[in-house]
Amino acid sequence: MRKIVITIVGVLTFLSVFSQNFEKKSLKSLEELGYTISQSITDYPKSDLPKGTLNAFIGTMLQEEYIISLLFSIDDSTFLVASNLVLDDDDATYRCQNPYVSYEDDKIITECQWMRGLTFGEELEVKNYKLYHIKHIEYDLNEDVYEEAEVAEKNNDPVAYCNEFMGAQYYSDLKYRVKESLEWAYKDAMAFYRSKEYTKAAELMYSMETKCDMSTTGTVSELFPSEFKRIWGDVTLFYLRAGFYKECISLSKWLLEVYPEFTGVYLQYGDALFKTENHEQSKIVYKKYTELMNKEGSNSKIPSRVIERLK
C-alpha cells in the first residue's frame, strides 16, 4: 500500500511540475512571436515524450539573441514549450534557422546547409526536458570534393575536375565550375587538334560530354552562350576529323536544337551523315547548310564536295 501511495505522489508531483513549467502555445502564436518550427526530431525516443504529446520539435527564433526551444506537439496546431535556450554569437556562429533535427546518442543535433556545402548547427543535451548547449557544429560536406578536384588540377585532368564538382552537395557555383573545366578541356583539345592529333582531341571532349553531365552543361549554355556555342561547334569538327561520326551526328543534332541557324555545324553534320552512308539525309542537311551560307553571302565558301553531293 505504501508503494502505491509513493507512486501516486510521484506521478502527481511530476504532473504538477509539468503543468507549472510547460507553457502551452498555439502554432500561430509561436509563429507570431517569430519562431520557425522544425520538422519533428528524427529518432526522438517515444518513451521520453511527455504524457499526452505526439512528437518533439525544435523551434528557433532570431531576435537580438538566438533562441532555441524544445517543443512537444499536442496536436497539429498546439505545442508545449518545454525549454528555451539563449545562445550568443560565440556559441552559435551562423544562427541556424529551420534546421534539420535528429536525436543521436542521447543528444539533439540541429543542422543547416549553406551554399557550397557548409553545414552548421548545434549539439544539445536534454535533461528533464531542459536544453543544454554542448558545442557548435561546423563542417563542409564537400571537403573531399575540393581535395580530389585539387588532385585533378595538378594532374591536368579537366574531366575528373568537373566530375568531382558534379558530385558536390548544395554547391552553388556548379555552372561556373562546368564552364571552367569545359574551357580548360577545350584549350587542351584544340592543342591536340592543331597538332593533328584528332583522336586525342575527340576523346578528351567526348569524355567531357559524357562524364560532365550534358544536361547541366545545357544550363551553362544559358549563362555563357557564346563560349558554349563556340566550344561545342568546334567539337563537332574534332569528332568528324577523328572518325567519331556517330558522336558528331548526335552532338550536331543537340546543338542545332539550341542554335537552329548554327551554319558551320550543318557542314559537319552533313559530312558525318555522308560518311555513315546516310546519303539522302545528308542531302537534306547540306541543303540547309547552303541556304544559310547564301543568306550570309558566303556561297563562294561552300566546299565543292557539298555541291557534288547535292547533285
pLDDT of 221 > 80? The answer is no
- Bridge partners of residue 140, in order along the sequence: 118
**Chain centroid to CA 35: how far?**
28
Write the pLDDT tens digit of every residue in 30-45.
Answer: 999 999 999 999 999 9
pLDDT category of residue 218 using cuts at 50, 70 and 90: low
Question: Alpha-carbon distance 41 to 57, whole Å?
Answer: 5
Q: Which residue has the higher pLDDT, 263 or 212?
A: 263
Contacts of 18 (CB under 8 A, 6+ apart): 50, 51
Question: Alpha-carbon distance 34 to 32, whole Å?
Answer: 5
Per-domain boundaries in the chain: 13-140, 143-309
Domain 143-309 has CATH 1.25.40.10: yes
Picking from 5-9, 24-28, 68-72, which range would have the lowest pLDDT averaged per residue? 5-9
Q: Which residue has the higher pLDDT, 311 or 59?
A: 59
Nine cell digits for residue 54: 505526439
> Whole-model pTM?
0.68
